[in-house]
Structure formats: structure tokens, C-alpha cells
């Protein structure tokens, strides 16, 4: 790994952390969601500071260059994240449907109650 | 002075009746609200049949979301104090009065019903977690909180509003650590707790590890960078 790549990685990680924390300060992001990004950045910073980890793991997997290992790892983590977001989104859609239906039923109950009282 | 007991209940069909009946029969000076957090079992049905004061959430929001619903109710109905009280029979209502008395005397924002003010902690895995959270709160804020994970907490009206309407105010130790840094007055009162009476605990091994990771990350890396809000 070249020094310049390591420096770029560290800077980008700090920016990511800063942005996540900024969103939390403005109450626009939940802590649960920020933790992933902060852990992710910390891991990349550690690899940039101690590139031997990347060398070791690249060697272990038979990947020629440690940079390629870093890219592969990032891609894997991103695919995993997209997958989990996709699952979360389906669940959210299901929950919204559920809520809308419940509200409709509650409204119907309320209205029929009101009508009964009026006709009395 | 109005006090509301918020009882979050998720799949507590075996316990909820005992807990609420005890409150109705022996502690009628306090109001209560059961928040049925989209239980899969008959918790909601039991509450409706017995005519309990009930907030019935149509879907499961998780503990924090359920309690927040209770806080919103407390704020809108103009309660002065709200207490978080488990639906599984662990918490004992005879300590509520002691906590309220302490809150009035010391003018605190939050009173934690703590198991370890005067008694010592037992040595177990769960207490190791509790100790770890105590320790990181202490090094990040300087405040000694003996039982940060206790689920029995009393809040004043100011805190009720914050917890009801602000993002990232989950009723968990990380928020406590943040509030300490904002200058909130947080005290502990010795209480005793029972083992849960029936049913299953929410915390299994996987969830416990997740919970610990979340709390440690949040207290160490996130809460320190949050904007300090003015209380009052």
C-alpha cells in the first residue's frame, strides 16, 4: 500500500466519521445507524496505519496485492450493507402497510360510532 | 402532583396481570399506562378484558419506542413525573414513593432505582457488563453511576418532554451519560428487584453482546461529540 493511498484512506475515514457525528448533532440520524459507519471507518484507519494486517490477510487469501485485498473487503462490506438495508426496507414497507390498515380500521370504527350517536 | 407509571410490555401475558393488579389495588395514588408493544401473545387482549389503561401499539417498535409512546402520553396528559417500570414483575412499586421523595428533595432530573447503592454487586456475566458501562460512563463524564442498566427510572417533566420528542433519547445508559454531560442532575436510590416471574427475558447472548457493543461505542465515540443541549 502506498503512503499516499493510506493518507487518503485516513482522511476519507475522518470525513465519514465527522459527517455521521454532524448528522447526530443535528438530530437527523439515529445512533444505531451511525455506529456502523464509525466502526467501518475505524477499521479502515487501523488498516491504513498498520498495513501489515492487509499484507497478512492478502497473503492468506492468495491475493497478490494488499490494495486489492482492501478493495475486496470494502466491496464485501458494502454488499452486505446493501443487503441488510434491502431487508430492512422490506420490513419497513410491511410495517407501514400494517399501520395504514390499522388506522383505516380504527377510523371506520370511530365513524360508525359517531353515526350511531347522531342517529340517536 | 401527578405521577404516571409507564409499563412497557412485550409478550408478558403471564406477568402483566399480577403487575397491574398490584398497582391498582395497593398503589392507586399513582396513575399507570400499559404500553403493549405489538405483542405476539395475548398481552393486549388481557389488558382490554381487564379494562386496563392501555396504549396498544399496532406494530412492535422495540423497548425504546414503546417507552417513548408512554412519555408522549405523559407529556400530553400533563404529568409532573413519569416512571419507567418493567411489565415482567422485576420492579417493586413500594420503592416509587422513596424515589419521588428523593427527586423532590434533591431537585434531580432523573432518579435511577439502583440495585447497588448500598448493596454490593454479585459476580456474574451480566454484572460484568453493568460494571463496564459504569466504568466508561465514569471515565467519559466523571460521574459515578452504580447501576446504569437499571430499567427503573424516574423522570421529571422537563425530561419527559425531552425523551418524548427528541431523536437519540433512548432510555438507556448512553443517554444518561449524555445528560450528565449536559448538566442534568442524576441520582440513585437503593431499591430491590426480583427475578422475572415468568416468560422469557428479552436479552439472550447475541442481544447482550449487541447491546454492550452499542452502549460502549455510543458512550465512548458518539455521546462525547453531541452538542450539549441546554436543559430547562
Q: Are strands B54-57 and B31-37 parallel, antiparallel or unpaired?
A: parallel
Give the number of other Cβ atoms within 10 Å of residue B18's Cβ.
15
- pLDDT-derived band of residue B224, with 50, 70 and 90 as boundaries? confident
pLDDT in tens, A19-58: 999 999 998 999 999 999 999 999 999 999 999 999 999 9
Q: What is the mean pLDDT of residues B53-75?
A: 94
Q: Which residues of B touch A (CB under 8 A)?
A: 58-59, 166-168, 170, 174, 213-214, 217-218, 221-222, 225-227
Give the DSSP H or E segment for B177.
helix B173-182
B114 phi, psi to nearest 5 deg: -105, 140
Specify whether the CB–CB gap between B177 and B141 falls below 8 A.
Answer: yes
**Other beta carbons less than 10 A from residue B102's beta carbon:** 15
Q: pLDDT of B133-152, one tens digit each? A: 999 999 999 999 999 999 99
The proportion of chain B whose per-residue pLDDT surpasses 90, expressed as a percent, equals 78
**Residue B202 clears pLDDT 70, i.e. is over it:** no
Q: Which residue has the higher pLDDT, A79 or B199?
A: A79
What is the spatial distance between Cα B146 and Cα B111, in angstroms, rounded to a whole number? 12
B190/B228: higher pLDDT: B190
How would residue B200 be classed by pLDDT, with cut points 50, 70 and 90?
Answer: low
CA separation for the pair B137, B131 (Å, rounded): 10
> Based on C-alpha coordinates, what's the Rg of chain B?
17
* Position B232 confidence tier, pLDDT thresholds 50, 70, 90: low
Q: Tell me what pLDDT residue B127 has.
A: 86
Q: Checking DSSP bridges between strand B81-84 and strand B3-9, what pairing results, if any?
A: parallel
Taking residues A115-120, what's their average pLDDT? 84
Positive/negative CA dihedral, B219, B221, B224, B227? negative
| B121, pLDDT greater than 80 | no
- CA dihedral of residues A93, A97, A99, A104 (deg, nearest 10): 160
Residue with more model confidence, B81 or B230: B81
Alpha-helical runs (H) found in chain A: 3-25, 31-49, 52-61, 66-119
Minimum distance, in Å, between the CA of residue A62 and any CA atom of chain B: 32
Nearest CA in chain B to A23: B226
Residues of A in contact with B213 (CB under 8 A): 35
Q: Where are the alpha helices (DSSP H) in B81-124?
A: 96-106
What residues of B are in contact with residue A24 (Cβ under 8 Å)?
168, 222, 225-226
Q: How far is B58 from chain A (nearest CA, A)?
A: 7
CA gap B32, B224 in Å, rounded:
35
Residue among B167, B217, B222 minimizing CB distance to A27: B167
Q: DSSP for B3-26, please give it.
A: EEEEEEESS-TTTHHHHHHHHHHH
A27 to B218: CB separation less than 8 angstroms, yes or no: no
Q: Above 90 in pLDDT, residue A73? A: yes
Cβ pair B59:A99 closer than 8 A:
yes
Strands B54-57 and B110-114: unpaired
Residue B65 phi/psi, 5-degree rounding, is -65, -40
ipTM for the whole complex:
0.77
Over residues B13-51, the pLDDT tens digits come to: 999 999 999 999 999 999 999 999 999 999 999 999 999
Query: How far does B105 lie from chain A, in Å, by closest CA?
Result: 33
Where are any strands of DSSP class E within chain B?
3-9, 31-37, 54-57, 81-84, 110-114, 153-156, 186-190
The chain B residue lying nearest A26, using CA atoms, is: B227
Cα separation values, A2 from A6, A7, A71, Å: 6, 9, 14
Overall average pLDDT of the B103-126 stretch = 88
Per the DSSP assignment, residues forming a β-bridge with B108 are: none
Among A30, A31, A37, the strongest candidate for a mutation testing the B interface, having the largest count of B CBs within 10 A, is A31
Chains A, B: CB contacts within 8 A come to 39
How does residue A120 score in pLDDT terms, banded at 50, 70 and 90? confident
What local confidence, expressed as pLDDT, does residue B229 receive? 82
pLDDT band at B197 (very low <50, low <70, confident <90, very high): low
Structure confidence at residue A117 (pLDDT)? 87
List pLDDT tens digits, range A81-92. Answer: 999 999 999 999
Amino acid at each position: 500500500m502506498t503512503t499516499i493511498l493510506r493518507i487518503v484512506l485516513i482522511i476519507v475515514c475522518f470525513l465519514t466519521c465527522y459527517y455521521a457525528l454532524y448528522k447526530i448533532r443535528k438530530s437527523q440520524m439515529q445512533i444505531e445507524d451511525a455506529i456502523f459507519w464509525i466502526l467501518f471507518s475505524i477499521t479502515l484507519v487501523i488498516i491504513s496505519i498498520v498495513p501489515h494486517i492487509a499484507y497478512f490477510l492478502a497473503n492468506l487469501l492468495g491475493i497478490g496485492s494488499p490494495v486489492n485485498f482492501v478493495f475486496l473487503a470494502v466491496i464485501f462490506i458494502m454488499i452486505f450493507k446493501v443487503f441488510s438495508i434491502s431487508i430492512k426496507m422490506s420490513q419497513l414497507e410491511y410495517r407501514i402497510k400494517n399501520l395504514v390498515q390499522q388506522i383505516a380500521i380504527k377510523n371506520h370504527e370511530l365513524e360508525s360510532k359517531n353515526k350511531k350517536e347522531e342517529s340517536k | 402532583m401527578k405521577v404516571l407509571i409507564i409499563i412497557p410490555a412485550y409478550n408478558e401475558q403471564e406477568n402483566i396481570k399480577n403487575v397491574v393488579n398490584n398497582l391498582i389495588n395497593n398503589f392507586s395514588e399513582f396513575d399507570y399506562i400499559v404500553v403493549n408493544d405489538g405483542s405476539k401473545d395475548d398481552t393486549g387482549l388481557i389488558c382490554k378484558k381487564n379494562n386496563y389503561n392501555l396504549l396498544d401499539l399496532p406494530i412492535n417498535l422495540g423497548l425504546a419506542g414503546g417507552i417513548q409512546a408512554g412519555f408522549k402520553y405523559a407529556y400530553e396528559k400533563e404529568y409532573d413525573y413519569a416512571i419507567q417500570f418493567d411489565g415482567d414483575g422485576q420492579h417493586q412499586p413500594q420503592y416509587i414513593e422513596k424515589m419521588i421523595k428523593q427527586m423532590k428533595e434533591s431537585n434531580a432530573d432523573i432518579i435511577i432505582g439502583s440495585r447497588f447503592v448500598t448493596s454490593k454487586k454479585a459476580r456474574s456475566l451480566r454484572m460484568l457488563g453493568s460494571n463496564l458501562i459504569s466504568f466508561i460512563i465514569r471515565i467519559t463524564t466523571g460521574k459515578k453511576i452504580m447501576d446504569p442498566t437499571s430499567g427503573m427510572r424516574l423522570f421529571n417533566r422537563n425530561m419527559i418532554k425531552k425523551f418524548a420528542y427528541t431523536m437519540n433519547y433512548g432510555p438507556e445508559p448512553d443517554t444518561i451519560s449524555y445528560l450528565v454531560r449536559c448538566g442534568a442532575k442524576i441520582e440513585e436510590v437503593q431499591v430491590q428487584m426480583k427475578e422475572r416471574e415468568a416468560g422469557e427475558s428479552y436479552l439472550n447472548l447475541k442481544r447482550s453482546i449487541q447491546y454492550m457493543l452499542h452502549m460502549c461505542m455510543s458512550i465512548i465515540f458518539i455521546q462525547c461529540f453531541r452538542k450539549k443541549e441546554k436543559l430547562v
